[in-house]
Amino acid sequence: MSDKRQVTSDKRPATCLLSPVSCLLSGLTLVELLIAMAILVTITGSTMLMFRGITQTWRSGQLRTERYQQARLLFDLFARELSSCVTLARYPFIGHDIEATPIKETSTQDEVFFVAVLAGRAGLVERGYWVNGEGALMCHDDEPADGDYESTGIDEPCGTDVTAFEASYFDGVEWLSEWNGGPGGDQEAHVPKAVRLTLTVGEQKPEQFETIVHVPTS
C-alpha cells in the first residue's frame, strides 16, 4: 500500500522585504508612477503658492496698519500744535510750497513753520514740519522761540517713508498754496484759519492721508 502524502499549496502573497514606499512603487507600472509624481508635484506647487499668497497678504496688511498708525500719530501732532499757534509779527507763520526757496537746505517738499504755546512747555516754542531727501518727515523745535527757523533749534525725524507732503492754507475765502505772515508778506502778522495737510507714505503702492486743522487763534 503506497504512502500518499497530501501537499497543501500556500497561496499567500510573498512578504515584501523592502521599505513600504519601495514595496508600493514595485507594484506600480511606469504610467501609474508618472501620474502619481505629477499629482504630487501639483499638490506641492499649489500649497507653496497658497502659502506665498497668505504671506504676502499678511505683510501687505501689516504694512497698511503701520502706515495708518504713523499717519494717525502725525495728524494728532499736527492738530495739537497748529491749533495752538500764535499771531505775532516777530514769530511769523510761514508756509512754503515745493517750488519756493526752502527754509531748510535739504527740504524736498512743502514746509510749515510757526510759533505756538504748547502744554508742558515754557513760553513760546518754534515748531515746523518738512521732509528731507531720505523721506523722513522732520519736526523742527526751538525753545525759547527766536523767530529764526533756519539757523537755530533742532530738527528730529517724526515720520518715515514719506514720499509727498503737501500743505495749503485757508484765509477765510480760498485755499492758498503758500502763506507768508512775515513783515511785508501777503498775510503779514496773520495765521490761516485752517491748514490742510496731505501725507503720502510709501514708494510701492503709496497711500495718501489727509487732514484739516482749524486754527482758533486766527
Distance CA 72, CA 196 (A): 15
Distance CA 132, CA 202 (A): 15
Cα distances (Å, whole numbers) of residue 13 to 3, 9, 16, 28, 32: 31, 12, 9, 16, 22
Question: So what's the pLDDT on residue 204?
Answer: 85
Q: Which amino acid is present at 30?
A: L
Residues in the chain: 218
Distance CA 106, CA 199 (A): 18
Instruction: Enumerate residue ranges in the chain where pLDDT < 50.
Output: 1-2, 4-9, 18
| SS3 at position 133 | coil
Q: Which amino acid is present at 25?
A: L
Distance CA 137, CA 82 (A): 16
Question: So what's the pLDDT on residue 173?
Answer: 97
Determine phi and psi for 31, rounding to 5 degrees.
-65, -45
| SS3 at position 183 | coil
Prediction pTM value: 0.74
Peptide bond connecting 144 to the previous residue in cis, omega within 30 degrees of 0 = yes
Number of CB atoms found within 10 A of residue 125's CB: 21
Q: Which three cell numbers stand for residue 30?
A: 511606469
Q: Which amino acid is present at 216?
A: P
| SS3 at position 77 | helix
Question: So what's the pLDDT on residue 90?
Answer: 86
Please identify which residue in the block is written with the cell numbers 502619481.
Answer: 36
Q: Which residues contact 147 (CB under 8 A, 6 or more apart)?
A: 90, 91, 92, 115, 126
CB distance 114 to 105 below 8 Å: no
Cα distance from N-terminal residue to C-terminal residue, the chain = 134
Determine phi and psi for 132, rounding to 5 degrees.
-90, 180
